[in-house]
Amino acid sequence: MRNNIHNRFYISVPADFNFWRTVYSHGWSSLKPFSVDKENQSLDRLLELNNNKLMYARINSSNSGKLRVDCQTKQTLNESEKEELVRQIKNCLRMGENFQEFYTIVKKDKEFSWVYDLKAGRLLRSPTVFEDIVKLICTTNCSWSLTEVMVNNLTTKLGKKFLLNEGAGISKELFSFPTPRAIASVDEKYLRSEIRAGYRAPYLLELAKRVESGEINLESWKNDQLSTGELFKMATSIKGVGPYAAGNLLKLLGHYDHLAIDSWCRTKYFEMHKAGRKVSDRSIEKFYSSYGKWRGLFFWMDVTKAWYKQKFPF
């Protein structure tokens, strides 16, 4: 077996950044190609550079406060490739986003000051907007376990393979998230039978083809100049993306003025604020309206509050 090239480097983090609370900010860390190694307390993932080189990264929070990144590649990385790797990691962990205004509000609010104390609030995202949208479509109208099945199938059946050296001659197969081209290259029948995407199959196929053809440039959606309204309209123009998926996508793009209420959040809200009694979505919207453009993030932090009492909430 050919040995991989090992590299270790460190990334400085913002003062208000908490690595572990970002990893466990929502369910993305348990969807492939992300994985959490609880023993090593690391976020692991196979990344793909723009030039298609694959790279395994194990990310830990080091004693110095910096992130420690241990990576494995097949070929030596040049400086620009290392820079791209760092950019991808910072992008996933939302390290370039300014949360000063959000923290100024939460630290004055007795119900939410814990968010400031824990430096919580950053929501883990994928390296590409395409991956986030595919995963969001896979969360709709199904159990979380089925979402895991669909994403796992997409990754292992349509992603690129990488052999990770685990030492003592042992290796493990890892897969990257499939590119738009890889998904566009199969048909609806395959997505139904092999990926188990069900009625979502035509949605995934259409999205992949639109991205692959250049009809839509999803990465441009990270542009700060786009308003929430514009982004919401663009997101819901994608088949399979309704108010819930669009609202959550906007949060991953740094816009927090949609609550993105789903059945899980509804139930949590009813338990926490209404002793289990059901109320309308409009009533939930009203409850968080005073938090203005940050209300979607306040809502999410509120319904996931219990997660922050544990090192490994799931």
Give the footprint of DNA on this chain (CB under 7 A): 26-27, 139-146, 149, 192-193, 196, 198-200, 203, 236, 238-246, 248, 262-264, 267
The residue (of 143 and 310) whose beta carbon lies closer to DNA is 143
- Taking the complex as a whole, the smallest distance from the CB of residue 18 to DNA amounts, in Å, to 19
- Taking the complex as a whole, the smallest distance from the CB of residue 170 to DNA amounts, in Å, to 29
Helix, strand, coil share of the chain (percent; to 5): 50, 15, 40
The residue (of 149 and 226) whose beta carbon lies closer to DNA is 149
The residue (of 166 and 271) whose beta carbon lies closer to DNA is 271
SS3 annotation, the chain: CCCCEEEEEEECCCCCCCHHHHHCCCHHHHCCCCEEECCCCEEEEEEECCCCCEEEEEEEECCCCCEEEEEEECCCCCHHHHHHHHHHHHHHCCCCCCCHHHHHHHCCCCCCHHHHHHCCCCCCCCCCHHHHHHHHHHHCCCCHHHHHHHHHHHHHHHCCEEEEEEECCEEEEEECCCCHHHHHCCCHHHHHHCCCCHHHHHHHHHHHHHHHCCCCCHHHHHCCCCCHHHHHHHHHCCCCCCHHHHHHHHHHCCCCCCCCCCHHHHHHHHHHHCCCCCCCHHHHHHHHHHHHHHHHHHHHHHHCHHHHHCCCCC
The residue (of 26 and 58) whose beta carbon lies closer to DNA is 26
Angle at 281 between CA 278 and CA 287, to 5 degrees: 90
CA–CA separation, 166 and 14 (whole Å): 32
- Taking the complex as a whole, the smallest distance from the CB of residue 183 to DNA amounts, in Å, to 17
The residue (of 169 and 276) whose beta carbon lies closer to DNA is 276
- Taking the complex as a whole, the smallest distance from the CB of residue 293 to DNA amounts, in Å, to 20
The residue (of 139 and 179) whose beta carbon lies closer to DNA is 139
CA–CA separation, 160 and 177 (whole Å): 8
The residue (of 119 and 135) whose beta carbon lies closer to DNA is 135
- Taking the complex as a whole, the smallest distance from the CB of residue 135 to DNA amounts, in Å, to 9
The residue (of 178 and 240) whose beta carbon lies closer to DNA is 240
- Taking the complex as a whole, the smallest distance from the CB of residue 159 to DNA amounts, in Å, to 19
- Taking the complex as a whole, the smallest distance from the CB of residue 232 to DNA amounts, in Å, to 11
- Taking the complex as a whole, the smallest distance from the CB of residue 304 to DNA amounts, in Å, to 9
